[in-house]
Amino acid sequence: MSKIIIVGGVAGGATAAARLRRLDEHAEIIIFERGEHISFANCGLPYHIGGIIEDREELLLQTPESFHSQFNVVVRIQNEVLSIDRKNKTVKVKNIQTNETYTETYDKLILSPGGAPIKPPIDGINSEAVFTLRNVADTDLIKAYIQSHQPRSAVVVGGGFIGIEMAENLKDAGLDVSIIELADQVIAPLDIDMACDVHHYLRKKGISLYLNNGFKKIVEKIDGLTVELSNGTIETNMVILAIGVKPESQLAKDAGLNINSRGGILVDKQMRSSDPDIFAVGDVIEIIDFVTKQPAMIPLAGPANKQGRIAADNICGIPSEYSGTQGSAVIKIFDMTVAFTGVNEKTAKRLGLNYDKIFLWSPSHAGYYPNSKPMSIKVIFEKQSGKILGAQIVGFDGVDKRCDVLAVAIRAGMSANDLTQLELCYAPPYSSAKDPVNMAGFAIQNALTGKVKIFHWHDVDSLPRDGSVTLLDVRNPKEFAQGHINGFINIPLDSLRKHIGEIDRSRIVYVHCFSGMRSYIAARILMQNGFDVYNLSGGYRLYNSVKSN
């Protein structure tokens, strides 16, 4: 009978334990969890603070008792593994409640300690009004502080998943909320052109954004806190640190396992560490990016669950490999949904990939059916083949559905041509006969086959305004009057054929409309009349969103 010890529960560790038991009824399985809960919905913690998830018990997916009765797995909460003796295959454990230390032997060991919130060593960081959010205990502290102190305002440091979700839920709880972010945008996996829509929406919902601004110091005062920034100060009543997480890999490092420069445990495709009897899963490991094939650290719950299952399979003699993480994720921001998968443009550019991109402004469902809402879509593709490399979508209804389809397309190695052939469910309340995913395929296909040449928002300001090229806006006069790009002349699409003789055929034409659709039609008209034409992908809407950020 084999003995398997698992360090850490939640996504990776608990999944591994459950899979191990389903595969081997007779193995001895012990989970050591330093905290008070073995399996909880950590992604749901902000929503309990905001009151959307009212019952705290809903967050507790398993208790030690329920886990033992269902899976016959011994769960020792508030027991911290202090060290690993690889030679003798033992671990040293401390019972946090009694301070007793003891050892346990193992045949196989799975490390799933996760990641710890980053807490910078600055003045005031240990104030009782400064919080991090990792587990249920942290949630309890934040809720208790809000109930007892009735804070009027909060500062969230960091604009990632936790930071944005906490900002939303603190706002819903009645607080004035500010977000501080060192970068020039929130939600780092997005590119700046897609993040700008998020910025506009957050401000519309009353969230103050302090971008390109460092977090320097916290000063406690009688009536609250002063948060000092690289540029300015904010007066507030409480602070949530959501700067990011670092892998809790000290245990592995002390045991001599191979670790990368960021602290991630190195594992193979079977989730084995440099010690063949020790496996590691979840936020603590370095993975391979599915698209780029480069090493990366991507802390997500979905991959952690898969990795736990794969580790269990291999321990039980079932060949199983992890094929990489593509970073598919979705986040709710009030009524907005933001989703992304695969590589972003920042990564594609950094790695020198031969890529291009298209932007769409597509309705969530048929425009004639009530309450259709547009979504902003960016798709990154390989120039020669049209293979889909990444996608980002910002909108309201139907965002997650389209991003999931594109995530599958990336996993399956599909190209733009494949997207045009996808037969997706259609009825007016849910989609259009040509789904936005199909439309993305058509747009890329048109660019690859030369039916249209595209330029992008970041090219606009560098276009010459000396008359050597023609800058053409084909929106209607009312749209043009409400706002337009400097140097562009207005000839509405409906009258373009009538005025085509007024446009110099010897000059390159750069054309745009609101979203890129009407200007595509204009480009086709002009191209077939002998003009050299470029269409602005994403149109005036995207350009204006970025420039007004």
Report whether 328 contacts 403 (CB < 8 A). yes
Going from the C-alpha of 193 to that of each of 90, 198, 207, the distances in angstroms are 52, 10, 19
| 8 Å CB contact between 119 and 125 | yes
Tokens of 139: 């949630």
Supply φ then ψ for residue 115, to 5 degrees: -125, 150
DSSP reduced 3-state for 354: coil
Q: Helix or strand or coil: residue 133?
A: coil
In b/e form, how buried is each residue of 220-237, taking b as 16+ CB within 10 angstroms? eeeebbebbbeeeebebb
CA–CA distance, 12 with 79 (Å, rounded to integer): 18
Cα separation, 506 vs 468, whole angstroms = 9
Select which of 43, 196, 316, 403 is catalytic: 43
CA distances from 249 to 80, 83, 540 (A): 14, 11, 48
Q: In Å, how far from its chain's centre is CA 233?
A: 29
Active site residue 196: no
For residues 533 and 453, the answer to whether their CB atoms sit within 8 Å is yes
In the chain the first and final C-alpha atoms are separated, in Å, by: 62
Q: Using CA atoms, how far apart are residues 84 and 101, in angstroms rounded to an integer?
A: 13
Longest dimension (CA), the chain: 90
Residue 394 · residue 344 · CB < 8 Å: no
Nearest partner of 447 among 489, 415, 472, 475, judged by Cα: 415
Catalytic residues: 43
